[in-house]
Amino acid sequence: LVWIVAVLLAILLPSFALAQDFSVFPAEVNIDNLSPGEEAEFELTIHNKDEVAYVFTISTFHPQEEERRKGRVEFPDDSWISFSPREIEVPASSDAKVKVTVSIASNTKWAGKDWEIWLGVRPKTSSLLVVNCYIRLLVSTGKEAEAGPNIGLLAGIAVAIIFLGYGVY
């Protein structure tokens, strides 16, 4: 009878779980017209609202197609995103900043694309209940690279060749 009472109490009473209290800003980052071969940087701010210091880890996460914004496709390469630092200790009731760098490979096949990837921030803990915060990262590459050669640059080279040829003549 004691065992039955103990099991019923364990099932019926709410279990105690330690969840970390933190937030991340901004919740969404939009990078437009990032040409292939270029990079963009921004900062994430992690605010630890708890009375205990935590070490947080930052990683990438590929959302399912139905979770992404309309017209956005999966980000092609996680190595294009770097974090400095990837793990950071945030003291109790304070903030810490993480620098995020996005650099697109230098290839015209990446021009004119709209991607989405999420950045996950979570405490590095051995607790059973771990809270994750996700930041939506929307990256669009410029369309100018897929339009072909730059006409102004070609015209300038042609004029320079004509003047150089005239000077030699």
Residue type, 164: L
Tokens 């605010």 locate to 47
Note the pLDDT of residue 29: 95
Predicted model pTM: 0.71
Tokens 């996005």 locate to 102
Note the pLDDT of residue 50: 87
The DSSP call for residue 68 is S
Residue 22, both tokens: 């933190």
Determine the Cα–Cα distance for residues 45 and 27; give it in Å rounded to an integer.
10
Residue type, 41: E
Asked if residues 119 and 100 have their Cβ atoms less than 8 Å apart, the reply is yes
Below-50 pLDDT ranges, the chain: 15-18, 145-148
Determine the Cα–Cα distance for residues 25 and 16; give it in Å rounded to an integer.
28
Determine the Cα–Cα distance for residues 169 and 14; give it in Å rounded to an integer.
93
H/E element holding 102?
A: strand 94-103
Pick from 27, 30, 29: which is nearest to 140 by CA? 30
Sheet with 94-103, side-by-side order of all strands = 22-25, 39-48, 94-103, 81-84
